[in-house]
Chain A
C-alpha cells in the first residue's frame, strides 16, 4: 500500500474535515483524509452543548462582540492563552459558524429564525450557538457532507503510526489499514494531524475509548514539542459511574448543582456566576464538597457525587433543549432527569495542551501541521471555556488547511522519498515483531488501567509535589514494564490487541510530559491546582511549558505568552 497525495489530513473529526475542505477549496484537489474511524464516528460527534460566537442573537446578548469573547476566553484561560490567537478565535467565530449554517448545519432557532444561543460558563453573554444538545453531531455530519460533496478521498480505518522526516521536513508517514492489517506508506507535500485529545490516559474520562493521544505522541517522537500538557480539563458534570458527559448546556439552561445538604453550593465559590462559573472552578468546587463530606455516596464504590438538578426546568424544556441528556440518563443511569436529580462527578474531559503550533497550524517541523484538540495554538491556556473547543476545531482547521494549500503550491516535495518511507515502514514492522515475539508476561490492558488510575489520582484535579512525584515515578515504572508487553494475537486482520499495545507506548510518553510539566509548574493556574502552591505566580510562570522528547525521557523548556491588550488580573467570577 502506497498512498500519495499533495495534502494528507490525519484524523476525520471536525478539525480534520474542516482543514481538508479548506485545502481543497484553496486549490489543492489532491487532498485525502486518513482516519482511524469513519469520520462521523470521531469524538467531535459527542460534543453537546454548543459553539461560541458573538452573533448577538439572544435578547440578553445584544451588546456582545468579538472583543468580549476574546476577553472571556483569555480570562478563562487564566491568562495563559496567547492573546493574538484568542483574538483570531473570537474574530473568526461568527463567519465560520455562519458558514456551517450555509452548509446546512441544523442549529436550533430563535423565533425570528436566527441561530439560537444559550449561556455557558465563564462567558459574559449568551454566546453559545447550539443544535439542541447534539451540536457536535450536527456540525460533524454537516462537515462530512461537505467532504462527500467535494469527493475528497477518505481512507477509513487507517491508523497512522509514525512520521517520516527528511532534512527537517515531514514528508510522509507509515500507516496501517486496520481491516487488512497491511502496513503501508503515505507520501505528502504536507500533513496535518487532527487526531484528537489524550483523555484515555486518565481513568474517569468523558472521552471515547479511542482518544489515546497517539497523534500527539507521534509528533513528539518526531521532535515537535508538546505545549502546556499539564493543563488537563476536568468537566464538572460527568455522569456518575460511566462518566458520560452531561453537557454544560444543562447549567446553561438553568440547572442547579446541589450537595447532600440541599444547598446550591456554588454560592460559596462563584457567588456571581454560580453554576455558570468556568469549568476548572466548578469542578474543584464539586470535589471540595465531596472531600468535605457534603457529597452523596461518600466513600462508596465509584466515588462520591453531587446532584445536577434539572427538575425545575420542566419536561417540555428538557425535551426541547436537552433531549440527549434525558436519553443518556435513562439508558445509562436508569433515571429520568424530569423527575430525578442526576448524580455527577468531575471527569477528565479535555487536553488543553498539545502539539505546539502557530496561528496557521504550522509546527516547528516544516510540512507538519496540527489542529483541534491534539494541537495547542494556544487559545485555551490553562482552562478552556465550554463552547470554545468546537470553535477551535473549525477556526484553526480552516486556517491550517488554507495555509497548507499555499505551502504545497510554493514548496512541493523535491526528489523521491521512497527509500526513507520504506525504512520507516520496516521500523514499524520490526516493532510489531518485537511485540509479537516478546518473551515477557506484561499485558497491554493491565498496564493501561494502572496508567489511567495513576494519572487520575496522582496527576488529577488537586495536585501537590509528593503525589506528582509518585505519579511521575509510576509512569516511568510502567514504561520500563512496557518493554515486557507481549501481544498474543498475531493475526493481521483487525488486530485490536496490536493497535492498543502500540498506542500504549505513546500514552506513556504523553503521560510523562503531563506529569513532568505539572511537577515543574510550582503555581496554581486554571485547571492546574497545586495544594502546595495555591496562588498564580505570574512572575515565574506566566509562560508556556514545552515538552521535548529525548531518548532518556522528557525535557522541559518554556516560551513566553503573547499579551496584546489584556493585562493579567485576579480571576473572579
Chain B
C-alpha cells in the first residue's frame, strides 16, 4: 500500500453551514497510526483541521475518536487495522456536541466524574507512615485505576446518550474504585450517590462501555458490583 484515503469529519461553526466529511490522500508508512495520519494532513494539506492529542502512547486519553466504526485512541490504532477498503473514516466521539471537526465538548464528562466524589475519604487521622494494604486488597481496584478518562465509554453508553445527567460508566468506574478500597471509609455516602436517580440503576447492562474501553476495563462489572451493594443497602441488608 503506497497511499490510502483518510475521510475526516469536518465542521467549523465559523464557516460551515453543515457537518460533512472531507477525504484526503495520505502516503502510507509501515506502522503508521491514525493520529500520525491526521498530523500529516494537518502539517501538509490543511492547517484548519482540529483534533486533540498529547502523549501519543495511549495513556493521556486526549485522542479518543470514532475510527471506522469503532471507539479508538487515534494514537494507538494503526491505519492498516482501521482500513475499510482503501479508506479510514475518522469521526468525533458520538453523542457529544462538536466544537470543531474532531473536538467535542467534554464538560459533562468531567462534571459527572466530580459528582461521585472521586477521592479517597477517610476522616481518621492518618498514621505517620503509609496506611498498610495487602497486595490482595490492592488488587481489588487494579483494573479501575487504569481509567484514562478518555470519554469513550461515556460516549458509547445508550443510557447516557438519552440523558447525560446519568453519571456514566467512567464516573461509576471511579466510584467503585474507591468503594472497594480498604482504606476508604465512606461506603454509605458512596452508595447514596450511586443509588440516586442518575446512578447505577440507569445502567441496562448493554456492555457498550466494555467494548469501547481502550484500556480493556470493565465498567459494567464495576457498576454491577455497586448495584449489588446499593440494592442490599436499600433493602436494609447493609449499613
Name A residues whose Cβ lies closer than 8 Å to a Cβ of B. 37-38, 40-43, 45-46, 55, 98, 101-104, 106-115, 131, 134, 137-138, 141, 145-146, 148-149, 156, 179, 208-210, 241-242, 244-245, 324, 327-328, 331-332, 334, 443, 445, 487-489, 491-497
Most buried by B among A38, A104, A111, A492: A104
List the A side residues contacting B18 at CB < 8 Å: none
* B1-50 contacts to A (CB < 8 Å): 12-15, 31, 39, 42-44, 47-50
- Partner pick for A40 among B50, B61, B132, CB 8 A cutoff: B61
> Which chain B residue lies CB-closest to A43?
B55
Question: B120 touching A145 by the CB < 8 A rule?
Answer: yes
The dominant DSSP class at the A interface is loop
Q: Which 5 A-B pairs have the closest CB atoms?
A: A104-B120, A113-B132, A497-B47, A445-B43, A145-B119
Question: B54 touching A109 by the CB < 8 A rule?
Answer: no
Most buried by A among B15, B61, B130: B130
Expressed in whole angstroms, the Cα–Cα distance for A334 and B76 within the complex equals 12
Question: A43 touching B126 by the CB < 8 A rule?
Answer: no
B149 interface residue per 8 A CB criterion = yes
With A41-B61, A109-B138: A210-B133 Cβ-Cβ less than 8 Å: no
- Partner pick for A109 among B44, B120, B135, CB 8 A cutoff: B135
**Known interface pairs A106-B141, A493-B50; 10 further A-B residue pairs with C-beta atoms within 8 A, sorted by A's residue number:** A40-B60, A45-B55, A101-B131, A107-B138, A109-B135, A111-B135, A134-B59, A209-B53, A242-B56, A244-B57
Cβ of A390 to closest chain B Cβ, rounded Å: 14
A-B contacts, 24 of them at CB < 8 A, read A38-B106, A38-B149, A43-B54, A46-B57, A55-B129, A101-B131, A104-B119, A104-B120, A109-B135, A114-B132, A137-B146, A145-B120, A146-B119, A149-B117, A208-B55, A209-B56, A241-B31, A242-B57, A445-B42, A489-B47, A491-B100, A494-B101, A495-B48, A496-B49
Size class of the contact patch on chain B: 35 or more
List the B side residues contacting A38 at CB < 8 Å: 106, 110, 149
List the A side residues contacting B39 at CB < 8 Å: 209
Binds A, one of B177-185, B193-201, B218-226, B229-237: B177-185
Cβ of B110 to closest chain A Cβ, rounded Å: 7
Question: B47 touching A496 by the CB < 8 A rule?
Answer: yes
Question: A137 touching B59 by the CB < 8 A rule?
Answer: yes
Expressed in whole angstroms, the Cα–Cα distance for A131 and B146 within the complex equals 11
Cβ of B112 to closest chain A Cβ, rounded Å: 12
- Partner pick for A113 among B58, B59, B134, CB 8 A cutoff: B134
Question: A113 touching B133 by the CB < 8 A rule?
Answer: yes
Question: A324 touching B59 by the CB < 8 A rule?
Answer: yes
List the A side residues contacting B15 at CB < 8 Å: 491
Name B residues whose Cβ lies closer than 8 Å to a Cβ of A. 12-15, 31, 39, 42-44, 47-51, 53-62, 76, 99-101, 103, 106, 110, 113-114, 117-120, 122, 126, 128-135, 138, 141, 145-146, 148-149, 178, 181, 183-184
Expressed in whole angstroms, the Cα–Cα distance for A280 and B43 within the complex equals 33
List the B side residues contacting A443 at CB < 8 Å: 43
Question: B145 touching A45 by the CB < 8 A rule?
Answer: no
Cβ of B55 to closest chain A Cβ, rounded Å: 4
Question: A208 touching B54 by the CB < 8 A rule?
Answer: yes
Question: A208 touching B50 by the CB < 8 A rule?
Answer: no
Cβ of A203 to closest chain B Cβ, rounded Å: 14
List the B side residues contacting A108 at CB < 8 Å: 135, 138
Most buried by B among A141, A149, A443: A141
Expressed in whole angstroms, the Cα–Cα distance for A332 and B134 within the complex equals 34
- Partner pick for B126 among A102, A112, A241, CB 8 A cutoff: A102
Cβ of A155 to closest chain B Cβ, rounded Å: 12
List the A side residues contacting B135 at CB < 8 Å: 108-111
- Partner pick for A208 among B56, B99, B129, CB 8 A cutoff: B56
Cβ of A240 to closest chain B Cβ, rounded Å: 11
- Partner pick for A104 among B54, B58, B184, CB 8 A cutoff: B184
List the A side residues contacting B54 at CB < 8 Å: 37, 41-43, 208-210
Most buried by B among A111, A492, A493, A495: A493
Cβ of B9 to closest chain A Cβ, rounded Å: 14
List the A side residues contacting B119 at CB < 8 Å: 103-104, 145-146, 148-149
Cβ of A387 to closest chain B Cβ, rounded Å: 17
Cβ of A239 to closest chain B Cβ, rounded Å: 9
Expressed in whole angstroms, the Cα–Cα distance for A492 and B178 within the complex equals 41
With A40-B148, A43-B54: A493-B12 Cβ-Cβ less than 8 Å: yes
Question: B47 touching A115 by the CB < 8 A rule?
Answer: no
Question: A332 touching B76 by the CB < 8 A rule?
Answer: yes
List the A side residues contacting B61 at CB < 8 Å: 40-41
Question: B50 touching A494 by the CB < 8 A rule?
Answer: yes
Expressed in whole angstroms, the Cα–Cα distance for A46 and B149 within the complex equals 14
> Which chain A residue lies CB-closest to B150?
A41
Expressed in whole angstroms, the Cα–Cα distance for A317 and B133 within the complex equals 20
Cβ of B97 to closest chain A Cβ, rounded Å: 11
Question: A493 touching B120 by the CB < 8 A rule?
Answer: no
> Which chain B residue lies CB-closest to A180?
B99
List the B side residues contacting A210 at CB < 8 Å: 54
Cβ of A13 to closest chain B Cβ, rounded Å: 11
> Which chain A residue lies CB-closest to B47?
A497
Question: A497 touching B126 by the CB < 8 A rule?
Answer: no
> Which chain B residue lies CB-closest to A113?
B132
Question: B14 touching A491 by the CB < 8 A rule?
Answer: yes
> Which chain A residue lies CB-closest to B36?
A242
Expressed in whole angstroms, the Cα–Cα distance for A467 and B184 within the complex equals 57
Question: B60 touching A46 by the CB < 8 A rule?
Answer: yes
Question: A493 touching B99 by the CB < 8 A rule?
Answer: yes
Cβ of B125 to closest chain A Cβ, rounded Å: 10
Question: A497 touching B48 by the CB < 8 A rule?
Answer: yes
> Which chain A residue lies CB-closest to B149?
A40
- Partner pick for A494 among B103, B132, B149, CB 8 A cutoff: B103
Cβ of B228 to closest chain A Cβ, rounded Å: 23
- Partner pick for A37 among B13, B48, B62, CB 8 A cutoff: B62
List the B side residues contacting A41 at CB < 8 Å: 54-55, 60-62
List the A side residues contacting B118 at CB < 8 Å: 145, 148
List the B side residues contacting A42 at CB < 8 Å: 54, 60
With A102-B131, A149-B119, A488-B47: A46-B55 Cβ-Cβ less than 8 Å: yes
List the B side residues contacting A37 at CB < 8 Å: 54, 60, 62
Question: B55 touching A496 by the CB < 8 A rule?
Answer: no
Cβ of B117 to closest chain A Cβ, rounded Å: 8
Cβ of B124 to closest chain A Cβ, rounded Å: 10
